[in-house]
Chain A
């Protein structure tokens, strides 16, 4: 069974600083994708970044990067130069190519301080 673990219920970061949100996963499937979503207080789920299990390089999307360590089964999200608008819940998710559904971690609530 797939399992996604986010061990940080809440994180604080100073504006303009970088922050790392942790995510570990467990799967026996060799082929899978890892995703991060942002959920602001308005409630919508916003896709941030994707990493395929066979990708050799860490994914980057603007200020977001994914620190992918396959042997350790971790997929940490790094947000650089934090902005006040980054305050939100962040969810790590995984989807294997053998299973059809996407499973989510419990989420981390990030608060950016001015």
Chain B
């Protein structure tokens, strides 16, 4: 158990809908990262937060947004969903914002039908 909690584990929804994925980092970790894993794109970095502030941005679509709350949990919002958004979404955390290894949650499997 990595200590990173992601909910829900599975999510099935329809095109055009909006969903929210939730992540609680390990106790004491200030930084949260979101990754998308699909068969054709591999593991893609989406966005990072550190202590409530956005720190780095990767290949995140404009339809997607995220935030980190004062209690350090984070949410990834996906809107106007398309079939191609179906993927495994990982949250990871680290104690600081740079250099060290990431601890991954078990992921949220999103299926857009």
Map CB proximity to A onto B101-113 as digits: 1 under 8 Å, 0 otherwise.
Answer: 1111011010000
Q: Is the interface of A mostly helix, strand, loop or mixed?
A: loop
User: Is B74 interfacial (CB-CB < 8 Å)?
Assistant: no
Would A33 and B100 count as touching, CB distance under 8 A?
A: yes
Would B104 and A45 count as touching, CB distance under 8 A?
A: yes
Would A100 and B97 count as touching, CB distance under 8 A?
A: yes
Map CB proximity to B onto A97-113 as digits: 1 under 8 Å, 0 otherwise.
Answer: 11111111111000000
A23 CA to B55 CA, complexed, in Å: 27
A104 CA to B58 CA, complexed, in Å: 12
Map CB proximity to A onto B77-113 as digits: 1 under 8 Å, 0 otherwise.
Answer: 0000000000010101000011111111011010000
Among the listed A45, A97, A100, A104, which residue makes an inter-chain contact with B42, where contact means beta carbons less than 8 Å apart? A104
Would B42 and A44 count as touching, CB distance under 8 A?
A: no
Would A44 and B107 count as touching, CB distance under 8 A?
A: yes
Interface residues on B, range: 20 to 34
Rounded to whole Å, the gap between the CB of A112 and the closest CB of chain B is: 22
User: Is A68 interfacial (CB-CB < 8 Å)?
Assistant: no
Would B45 and A101 count as touching, CB distance under 8 A?
A: yes
User: Is A12 interfacial (CB-CB < 8 Å)?
Assistant: no
Enumerate B49-83 residues with CB–CB distance to A below 8 Å.
Answer: 50, 55-56, 58
Would B48 and A43 count as touching, CB distance under 8 A?
A: no
Among the listed B42, B45, B107, which residue makes an inter-chain contact with A107, where contact means beta carbons less than 8 Å apart? B42
Would B101 and A97 count as touching, CB distance under 8 A?
A: no
Would A35 and B101 count as touching, CB distance under 8 A?
A: yes
| Contact A97 to B98, CB < 8 A, known contacts A45-B104, A104-B42, A104-B43 | yes
Q: Interface on A for B, CB 8 Å cutoff?
A: 33, 35, 37, 43-47, 50, 91, 95, 97-107
Known: A35-B102, A107-B43. 18 other contacts (CB 8 A): A33-B99, A35-B101, A43-B106, A43-B107, A44-B107, A47-B104, A50-B101, A91-B43, A95-B100, A100-B48, A100-B55, A100-B56, A100-B97, A101-B45, A102-B33, A102-B92, A104-B35, A104-B42
